[in-house]
Amino acid sequence: MFISFVFVSSGSAQDRQRIVKSISSRPTNQPPTLSTTTDKTKSLTSIPSNVPSARPILTNQIVVPQQKPQLVKKTVSSSAISAVASSMGASRRLVYSAPTSSRIMSGIGTRLGIPYRYGSSGPNRYDCSGFVWSVFNEAGVNFTRQSARGLWSMSVPVTGDERYKFGTLVFLNGLGHIGIVADENGFYHASSSKGITYSPFKGYWEKRIVGFRSLQPAVDPTDLVNENPDVQP
């Protein structure tokens, strides 16, 4: 029996073309390299959107400025200042001597702008009669602290030009209010809305005047006459 063997040459297998897959040495998750071009405008546009930009570190300390509280200042109206000047201009327009009148005016000036409070005699709040009492008491014209109605009873009436001499008392609102006459134009008083202030007679107050009176009998006679020829002891 004849047996034949067939040998297949390996040359044909070697003739097959091998497919070799190239492998990059760069990791697949590595972001693309930024452009190294020297063109600044091109390098800015070549940065991928998913690459975070570096932010500068804040090194300066944030300082919040502290504001100082504003102080509330008392203001004196120009009309009040004008009234002071006109009232003190001539001794013949004063109820008391020049020294006493000067002390009364000084007492009024230091109280201008202080707020109103019913029943208070100062130094931080005044009602109308408390204001009058404190000013006259400080000037040396002493009497008992009482209401406007009480002061009406203890004072004497004045008429004519005497009503508008500086230092005369003016009574208003049915004896519910009192002030100190500056001159024929107005008076000083403790207003419930404005505090110690100067107000003109004309307008609101002229229809509310009850009368004018003076505390002259309570004053030492030596404080009158010579310096004020219109007033006799």
| Averaged pLDDT of the chain | 73
Q: Please, what are the domains in the chain?
A: 78-219 (3.90.1720.10)
Which residue(s) pair with 211 in the sheet? Answer: 171
Cα 229 from chain centre: 47
Identify which of 19-23, 68-72, 184-188, 213-217 has the greatest average pLDDT: 184-188
Q: How confident is the model at residue 93 (pLDDT cuts 50, 70, 90)?
A: confident
Could you identify the residue written with the tokens 């130094």? 123
Q: How confident is the model at residue 19 (pLDDT cuts 50, 70, 90)?
A: low
Decide if pLDDT at 231 tops 60: no
**31 exposed, middle or buried (CB, 10 Å; 0-12, 13-18, 19+)?**
exposed
Q: Check residue 131 and report its DSSP letter.
A: H
Decide if pLDDT at 63 tops 80: no
Half-sphere exposure of 207 toward its Cβ, with a 13 Å CA cutoff?
Answer: 2
pTM over 0.85: no
Contact of 119 with 130, CB cutoff 8 Å: yes
Contact of 46 with 40, CB cutoff 8 Å: no
Higher pLDDT, 27 or 104: 104
Termini Cα distance of the chain: 182
- Give the Cα separation of 187 and 205 in Å (integer): 10
Decide if pLDDT at 220 tops 80: no
